[in-house]
Amino acid sequence: MKSRTAKFFSYYKPYKLLFISVMACAVLGTAISLILPLCTRYITKDLLERNAPDALEKILWMGALMLVLVAMQTAFNFYYDYRGHALGAMMENDMRSELFEHLQKLSFRFYDENKTGQIMSRITNDLLSLTEFYHHSPEDILINSVKFIGAFIILLTINVKLTIVVFLFLPFLAAFSLYFNQKMHDAFKVNRERIADINAQVEDTLAGIRVVKSFTNEDAERAKFEHENHLFLESRKDIYKNEAYLYEGVNAFSNIITVAVVVIGGASIVNASLDLADLITFLLYISSLTEPVKMLNHMTRQYQEGVTGFERFMEIMEVEPEVEDSPGAVELTHVKGDVQFTNVSFRYNDHNHVLRNISLDVKAGEYIALVGSSGVGKTTLCSLIPRFYDVTEGQILLDGIDIRNIRLRSLRKFIGVVQQDVYLFAGTVMENIRFGKPGASPEEIIEAAKKANAHDFIMQLPNGYNTDIGQRGVKLSGGQKQRLSIARVFLKDPPVLIFDEATSSLDTESEKVVQDSLEKLAKNRTTFVIAHRLSTIRNARRIVVLTDQGIDEQGTHEELLAAGGVYAHLYNLQFDRAVVTEQLQGNLS
């Protein structure tokens, strides 16, 4: 990957002509600001002091010239202000698109370890500050350099001694500014972290607002938010305190310089080594000489926000996807559905193994149920098939090909996943089903919905397939959301299916409808079912029982019950629990 410096400047490349034109206008506008005091000096010194015979006519001509210069300066400043900001916004837009694309490439492990709110802060707040940084930083450096050098040269031509006096103050002013610049850098970095924490807290609370309200935990959430908000406030106070020191200190230095110029200049007039016109001109140029140093306050704030934002941007951009296409990865055109696990082990980071030495041979079209107590790795095992994570040891083959040698998009194209926690996007029913096959026709979508037993309830919605279902499908029941997710997979039509406890959170009636949809979907497809309710997988061709040590037993429902092992124990526990629940319901009724 490019160095961060090279990466930073690479975003100017597509807009280099615009950048050059903006910088040219900035220089021309600044040059005019240096010329105008010389025009004033010409009027006061060469015309008025010397009582030139044609002074009035020349003053009028000079006034006209100054008006033309002001008009030109206004035009130049307007262009670099408007087009310069547009340049920064376009670069920010490119960076945001690049970051979003990169985020989609990152592996599940990245999202396991990072809060959504903090990621959102990187793509919104951090990049927003870069607009001003990209636009103003080069302009401010160029403009203030031209002002400083130009004013210094002009002042030397007016009075060398007075110019040196002014210049002696500048190193102290610069040292003072640099000291507080560093303190502001540290304060801005902390501030960025604080706003990211606030975003994470808000995102977490709002995403779980129903849980918050159901447990009446609003006060607890408010307390957590107030804590984060207070830390953010303190970080802002720290910024403003150092900013005040810097701003007021620089103003004090500037005022001292002005006083020194007035006193020494006044004394020089008395000694006849300087005239009043030159002193007035000198005072006009002092601001051009000290303003670049004074602008360090404004430039530093932009610099700190911009650099901090760019560093946080690069922190994500430099994260490499753990799961990506290997060199020479193949594109699949057809999949039968044979899946083979060979001595597969897996662990998250440096934690203990979640899976150990799993070997399992699944033939095309076979219906496999995975059961076991919580935490034994059922979901993890299925997550390895579409390479949401890569195996730590061993290999997984699809139709005899190591899945690490298959292009990711190609591999996942032939695998359908129906999860317990259904995620629906804000939008209409049709848009959510079409997610299974972008570009699908309305007829295809309706057919998929019918297969998923979803068509009837969809037609009862206010606008049918065009009904807006709200954020995450809040306007639908659990069973309805699950059927829409199944319709997506029907539309995708993959040869390999993964059902991740797809009915465990549903009531009995909804479970029956969804189970019927799943059985239709599983027909003639290689199917892995992670089972929570063991009664739903009694007809599975093979039941695989996982424990902490790996695969403990395999067989049909009847075979495993007769064996009296782990499966029989789990099944009897659920059966006894169901009997007790039924008796309680009977007593209550």
Residue 265 has pLDDT above 50, yes or no: yes
Asked which of 178-182, 373-377, 425-429, 494-498 is least confident by mean pLDDT, the reply is 178-182
Nearest alpha carbon to residue 296 among 141, 189, 88, 131:
141
Cα–Cα distance between 409 and 18 in angstroms, integer?
Answer: 38
The residue with tokens 């440096």 is 350
Cα–Cα distance between 124 and 198 in angstroms, integer?
Answer: 13
Q: Give 443's pLDDT tier (boundaries 50, 70, 90).
A: very high
Cα–Cα distance between 453 and 190 in angstroms, integer?
Answer: 53
What does the pLDDT look like over 134-155, one tens digit per residue? 777 788 888 888 888 888 888 8
For residue 304, the one-letter residue type is Q
What does the pLDDT look like over 488-518, one tens digit per residue? 888 888 899 888 876 655 556 666 777 777 7
Cβ atoms of 321 and 106 closer than 8 Å: yes
Bigger pLDDT: 551 or 302? 551
Residue 579 has pLDDT above 50, yes or no: no
Note the pLDDT of residue 183.
82
Kindly report the CA angle at 444 between 463 and 450, in degrees rounded to 5? 65
Cα–Cα distance between 141 and 26 in angstroms, integer?
Answer: 11
Tokens for 384, please give them. Answer: 């390895």
Cβ atoms of 376 and 548 closer than 8 Å: yes
What does the pLDDT look like over 63-105, one tens digit per residue? 899 999 999 999 998 998 888 888 888 888 898 888 888 888 8
SS3 for 367?
Answer: strand
Cα–Cα distance between 554 and 23 in angstroms, integer?
Answer: 73
Top-level class of domain 422-493 = alpha beta
Q: What mean pLDDT do residues 193-215 have? A: 74
Cα–Cα distance between 522 and 495 in angstroms, integer?
Answer: 9
C-beta neighbour count of 454 within 10 angstroms: 27
Cβ atoms of 567 and 560 closer than 8 Å: yes
Q: What mean pLDDT do residues 373-400 have? A: 89
Q: Give 28's pLDDT tier (boundaries 50, 70, 90).
A: very high
What does the pLDDT look like over 337-347, one tens digit per residue? 899 999 999 88
Note the pLDDT of residue 580.
41
Note the pLDDT of residue 71.
94
Residue 542 has pLDDT above 80, yes or no: yes
Q: Give 548's pLDDT tier (boundaries 50, 70, 90).
A: confident
What does the pLDDT look like over 562-573, one tens digit per residue? 888 888 888 887
Note the pLDDT of residue 584.
44
Q: What mean pLDDT do residues 414-427 have? A: 82
Q: Give 210's pLDDT tier (boundaries 50, 70, 90).
A: low
The residue with tokens 């002092």 is 286
Bigger pLDDT: 560 or 122? 560
Q: Highest mean pLDDT: which of 356-365, 472-481, 515-524?
A: 356-365
Nearest alpha carbon to residue 496 among 373, 336, 376:
336
Top-level class of domain 334-414+497-589 = alpha beta
Q: Give 395's pLDDT tier (boundaries 50, 70, 90).
A: very high
Residue 588 has pLDDT above 50, yes or no: no
| Integer angstrom CA distances of residue 485 from 68, 109, 517 | 68, 24, 11
Tokens for 195, please give them. Answer: 């706003």
Cα–Cα distance between 12 and 14 in angstroms, integer?
Answer: 6
The CATH 1.20.1560.10 domain(s) of the chain lie at: 4-317
The CATH 3.40.50.300 domain(s) of the chain lie at: 334-414+497-589, 422-493
Residue 300 has pLDDT above 80, yes or no: no
SS3 for 179?
Answer: helix
Top-level class of domain 4-317 = mainly alpha
